[in-house]
């Protein structure tokens, strides 16, 4: 008789656990922060170069650009404000709040053409080190993936890491390289 109660109790526990598992699975929401297929640069490239308009429309139907602060703020305009002047005032009020305390005229940006670093200082040494590093990089290897995607001849081998052909971040380092090269030229005039 004791054995019979323990078997019944075990069956009861199993049923309760199954019920809990099923009910929890109905209550769970899908996480909306997970990346979609459109997060993949490779998938997006294949999609955009495809002739399948139905798939394109389906994939881009939920694709939204993140709104700017101002457009998000403007969506909060009270419904009673119907005049354009009121909407403009609302936008100006937002900009005033957002930029409150920002000093005007305190710092002024100057062109890198107008700045010279003493070559014998630690800053001059750092600039020279950066220049040597930029000159060391092989541009053909940096743009390898861009040439491959556009159907051009791809001399040499691509860099690995972020620039590897199978990575989703390829092109990321190239953008840093372009910015660094432009700033280096502006500050050193080294062709």
Tell me the Ramachandran region of residue 102: left when phi exceeds 0, alpha when psi lies from -120 to 50, beta otherwise.
Answer: beta
Domain count, the chain: 3
Tell me whether residue 105 is in a domain: no
Give the confidence band of 162 by pLDDT, cuts at 50, 70, 90: confident
DSSP assigned state of 161: G
Is the predicted pLDDT of residue 175 greater than 60, yes or no?
Answer: yes
The residue with greater pLDDT, 58 or 74, is 58
**Averaged over 121-127, what is the pLDDT?**
92
Domain that holds residue 48: 1-64
Tell me whether residue 33 is in a domain: yes
- Cβ 112 vs Cβ 183: under 8 Å: yes
Of 56-60, 63-67, 170-174, minimum mean pLDDT range? 63-67
Tell me whether residue 150 is in a domain: yes
Question: Do 134 and 182 reside in the same domain of the chain?
Answer: yes
Give the confidence band of 191 by pLDDT, cuts at 50, 70, 90: low
DSSP assigned state of 162: G
Of 8-17, 68-77, 92-101, minimum mean pLDDT range? 68-77
**Averaged over 14-25, what is the pLDDT?**
74
- Structure token pair of residue 83: 């005049």
Comparing C-alpha atoms, which of 124, 140, 128, 129 is closest to residue 174? 140
- Report the chain's mean pLDDT, rounded to a whole number: 77
Tell me whether residue 124 is in a domain: yes
């Amino acid at each position: 008789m004791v054995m019979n109660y323990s078997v019944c109790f075990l069956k009861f526990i199993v049923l309760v656990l199954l019920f809990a598992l099923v009910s929890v699975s109905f209550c769970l929401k899908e996480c909306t922060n997970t990346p979609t297929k459109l997060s993949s640069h490779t998938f997006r490239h294949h999609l955009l170069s495809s002739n399948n308009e139905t798939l394109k429309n389906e994939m881009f139907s939920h694709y939204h650009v993140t709104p700017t602060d101002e457009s998000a703020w403007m969506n909060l305009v009270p419904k009673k404000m119907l005049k354009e002047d009121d909407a403009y005032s609302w936008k100006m009020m937002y900009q005033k709040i957002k930029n409150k305390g920002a000093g005007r005229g305190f710092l002024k940006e100057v062109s890198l053409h107008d700045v010279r670093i003493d070559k014998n200082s630690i800053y001059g040494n750092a600039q020279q080190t950066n220049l040597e590093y930029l000159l060391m990089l092989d541009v053909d290897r940096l743009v390898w993936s861009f040439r491959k995607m556009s159907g051009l001849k791809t001399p040499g081998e691509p860099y690995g890491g972020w620039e590897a052909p199978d990575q989703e971040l390829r092109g990321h380092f190239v953008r840093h390289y372009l910015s660094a090269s432009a700033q280096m030229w502006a500050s050193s005039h080294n062709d």
